[in-house]
Homo-oligomer: A and B are copies of this chain.
Amino acid sequence: MKRIADSTIRRLSMYLRYLEDLDGRGQLTASSDELAQLCGTTPAQVRKDLSFFGSFGKRGLGYPVHELTAHLREILGLEHEWKVIIVGAGKIGAALANYRGFRQRGFTVVGVYDNDPRKVGTPWGESVVRSMDQLDHDVAHEEVRMAVLAIPSENAQQVVDLLVRAGIRAILNFAPAQITVPPHVSLQSVNMAMELERLSFELTHGESIQAVAG
């Protein structure tokens, strides 16, 4: 089993964004220098990140933009549509359900779920908010593998267990709670307050300590 750092995957996502942009503008090749500059890293890092997945580009000629774009989409698993459900029809859930960036990358929100009877059945896009009781059936029937968790901390673990039992294999968690998943399930947590704490850290220490990627 190979191991790859989170920060590498993030950079692959970033390379892809710039390459798509270059491809759209008809640029045929891109050097590691150019990609490095666009993404705020070093040419050596670009070469190292890409070499992990095979041999792209030719020495002195740079990377072929169109081919590398396709390769990166494949590496990131973006060459097909992913069905996603959102659990929690609160403000964050609603914001995410309509997030343009998801659709643009091939992530389609197929259902929004809540356990609040006042929310179940209320309109959501061309559909309605669904009851949590339906989740098991829907995930199996619609072959959904990804879920976004946008609920309060209190019930987070309980809902995660339910998602895992239903067949969900990847969870993006916005609940500010520490949750655990079995080894076969991927978990990515976004904690808004921790993002602000990093900024608070930097403002506090000013130029005496510099935060670096890693």
Contacts and interface: CB of A to CB of B under 8 A. Distances in A.
Interface of A: 1-7, 9-10, 12-14, 17, 38, 75-78, 82, 84, 90-92, 94-96, 98-102, 104-105, 107, 145-146, 148, 152, 169-172, 176, 178, 186, 188, 190-205, 207-214
Nearest to A206: B184
B76 A192 contact: no
Contacts of A102: 192-193, 196
B77 A212 contact: no
A133 B116 CA distance: 40
A4 B188 CA distance: 23
Contacts of A104: 193
Nearest to A202: B186
A91 B82 contact: no
Taken together, the copies of this chain in the complex come to: 2
A186 B203 contact: yes
A169 B204 CA distance: 11
21 contacts: A1-B208, A2-B208, A5-B211, A6-B211, A7-B214, A13-B198, A77-B203, A91-B98, A92-B99, A95-B95, A100-B152, A101-B191, A101-B193, A102-B196, A105-B193, A105-B196, A146-B203, A148-B196, A170-B199, A186-B211, A188-B198
Which of A17, A197, A210 has the largest number of chain B CB atoms within 10 A? A197
Nearest to A147: B199
Contacts of A169: 203
A151 B98 CA distance: 14
Nearest to A84: B196
B202 A170 contact: yes
A204 B96 contact: no
Contacts of A91: 91, 94-95, 98
A212 B6 contact: yes
Contact of A10 (B5, B98, B198, B209): B198
